[in-house]
Amino acid sequence: MNNIQNKKRVYMVLDSQRRELDSRLLFISKCLSKNYEVTLSSKANLLRNFNKLKTGIVILKGFGPKQFNIVERGIKFGFKFLGWDEEAILFNDPIQITDDKIRIDKRTLEKCNYYFSWGDNATRALKEAYPQYREKFITTGNPRIDVLKNKYKDLYKANSEKIKLKYGKYILFTTKFSRVNNIFEVSWMDTMKKRSLIDSKEKKEHQFRTAKLQEETFPLFLKLIKRTAKEFNDYSILIRPHPSENKSIYFELEKEFKNIAVCDDHISTNNYILGSEILISSNCTTLLESFILNKPSINYLPVKDEEYEYFVTSSLSKILRNEEEILNTLKKKNFGKLLDEIKENLDLSKIQDFYVNFESEESCDKIIDYIGKIEPNKILKKDKYQNIVFYLLLLLKKKISDFSGRFSDKDATKIAKSKRGNYDDQFIYEKFKILARIENLNKFKIKKIFPGVRLFNN
């Protein structure tokens, strides 16, 4: 018991199951191998239990204004904070990762020990924007890049085979049009203004240009999906919508074409990429993921605006700007050659400037080394109220809170439902078992210590 109490505890937050779960579990497996214990929960479940949890170190998934309440409350109970920005995976203009209304809240950054960046490019931008915090910005890379590497393909192998068995050969379309087709069905610019997130000419220009690019590209992307379905009826056409998008327009396409299927489950999109013949997207993170998974991809950019075309996704895919070019490329069916062509034209050093762990080293060990330098204030050495009666009372309280939240903040509930899914204990166990085997963890335990809060230990 004393050995367990003496272990340093790390707290991880999960927001989007399909995007984050696998990399979170990978990071947890690395922590366990270094004798840490780790919890995984939503931000809300962590926030409501700070006063009952063993004091530890929290890894944030961002540093914006929405994170300040969790930091402020956690510090009252002796917790320390560090983290990375999940959304900083893609950027061209530094404002995309340094915006003080969206990405960085100085109050949050002030109270955190470290900000772990994806690459040197980001670190330079952050240090220039916030020189007073330059010692906090550390280039480590990110576990979301690590988990894509060949070593961890067993995480996706079984599901990708099931997908292929169900659909046969397929072309995968991944979408990224939440600024024009968002789940709330409201204007992106109106939302930005309503939330007072635009306070300069530069920010207004950035938000307007990105929204306009999606607005002009979206109908052309839909048209491409339709033509592909018509002309390649020997393939299944799978559409993987972005979680923040309104899915209805894609389900209409599914009704119209027998070979179109909308895949809106909560497993990682990496499963779908790995099983595909080729991926087609527009300015989307999945183009990066596809390259690391050794799958060819087409970046469809029919509306030219090079300032807002991500360098990374354009470098790791084949840029095509009109429908005919794409259809002709697909007709050749020489997808392996397309991938070789992309690799031949790649300037690896420039990509590694964005992702320090793109090819060689892994990020997890670096981050864990910095966790080792931090000591939380020992307010609670163990979790309080660890008995079944109290657990059931907390579960009832959580259900009441979640139920009332559905009515008090319908927008937040809507997006949370779209992102999170309902992963159960067996699902988590089976996934983690694969990683434990890869990382040579001989034993591990997963236990719910509070409703919605899982503890991983060995």
Burial of 186 from C-beta contacts in 10 A (0-12 / 13-18 / 19+): exposed
Q: How many CB atoms lie within 10 A of CB 321?
A: 12
Per DSSP, the three-state class of 329 is helix
What pLDDT is stored for residue 362 in this prediction? 85
What pLDDT is stored for residue 171 in this prediction? 98
Q: Which residues contact 215 (CB under 8 A, 6 or more apart)?
A: 179, 180
The first and second tokens of residue 401, run together, are 């809170």
Instruction: State pLDDT tens for residues 233-276.
Output: 999 999 999 999 999 999 999 999 999 999 999 999 999 999 99
Q: ∠ CA(251), CA(289), CA(287), 5° rounding?
A: 65
Closest CA to 330 of 233, 250, 241: 233
Tokens 């087409």 -> residue: 298
Residue 420 in this model has a pLDDT that exceeds 90: no
The separation between the first and the last C-alpha atoms of the chain, rounded to the nearest angstrom, is 12
Bridge partners, 116 (sequence order): 138
CB 152 within 8 A of CB 158: no
**182-186: long-range contacts (C-beta < 8 A, 24 or more apart)?**
182/244, 182/245, 182/246, 183/244, 183/245, 183/246, 183/414, 183/415, 183/418, 184/411, 184/414, 185/246
DSSP 388-435: HHHHHHHHHHHHHHHHHHHHH-HHHHHHHHHHH----HHHHHHHHHHH
Instruction: State pLDDT tens for residues 272-288.
Output: 999 999 999 999 999 99
User: Which domains are assigned to the chain?
Assistant: 2-146+362-457 (3.40.50), 151-348 (3.40.50.2000)
Q: Rounded to whole angstroms, how far apart are CA atoms 62 and 336?
A: 37
Per DSSP, the three-state class of 298 is strand
Residue 2 in this model has a pLDDT that exceeds 80: no
Instruction: State pLDDT tens for residues 429-454.
Output: 999 999 999 999 999 999 999 999 99
Instruction: State pLDDT tens for residues 132-187.
Output: 999 999 999 999 999 999 999 999 999 999 999 999 999 999 999 999 999 877 77
DSSP assigned state of 50 = T
Report the predicted TM-score, pTM, of the whole model to 2 decimal places: 0.91
Pick from 60-69, 387-396, 402-411: least confident: 402-411
Q: Helix (H) and strand (E) counts for the chain?
A: 22, 14
DSSP assigned state of 55 = P
Residue 412 in this model has a pLDDT that exceeds 70: no
| Reduced DSSP (H G I as helix, E B as strand, rest coil) percent helix, strand, coil of the chain, to 5 | 55, 15, 35
Tokens 């404002």 -> residue: 95
Q: Predicted confidence band at 406 (pLDDT cuts at 50, 70, 90)?
A: low
What pLDDT is stored for residue 390 in this prediction? 78
